[in-house]
Amino acid sequence: MWRSWLSALPILGLFLVILASLYFMGFAAQKSDRFGDFYIWLLIFNVLLMIGLLVVILLRIFKALRDRVLGVQGSRLAFRLILMFVFTAVVPVFVVWAFSVRFLSSGLDRW
């Protein structure tokens, strides 16, 4: 039982660090006089954290695929849950991205 919780700690820790970094990016964006000093470093830090989160997620997916190939009990269910989560998360993100690109390309002055 504890082992499953301990394996989730790196993802939770990385998520909390990303959340704190995004908070500081919002703070840097509100203070226009200090914006230039902090923004580029916070942006680089956030990109590195997102890459780290992507690596952790991909490692989990590869582990699930390996378990499925080896025939571990419950691996089919875990793989189906992963697929459902991916499709549930990707569709809204794509819709928001498409509307933001359209909004930014049409220009803010028309709005």
Percent of the chain residues past pLDDT 90, beyond the cut: 4
Cβ neighbours for 103, distance < 8 A, ≥ 6 positions apart: 111
C-alpha torsion sign, points 15, 17, 23, 24 = negative
Q: What is the mean pLDDT of the chain?
A: 78
Q: Which residue has the higher pLDDT, 9 or 71?
A: 71
Q: Are 55 and 14 in contact (CB under 8 A)?
A: no
Tens of pLDDT, residue by residue over 1-55, are 566 667 777 778 877 887 887 777 777 767 666 666 777 777 787 788 778 778 8
- How far apart, in whole angstroms, are the C-alpha atoms of residue 33 and residue 46? 21
User: Quick one: which of 2, 10, 7, 6 has its CA closest to 64?
Assistant: 7
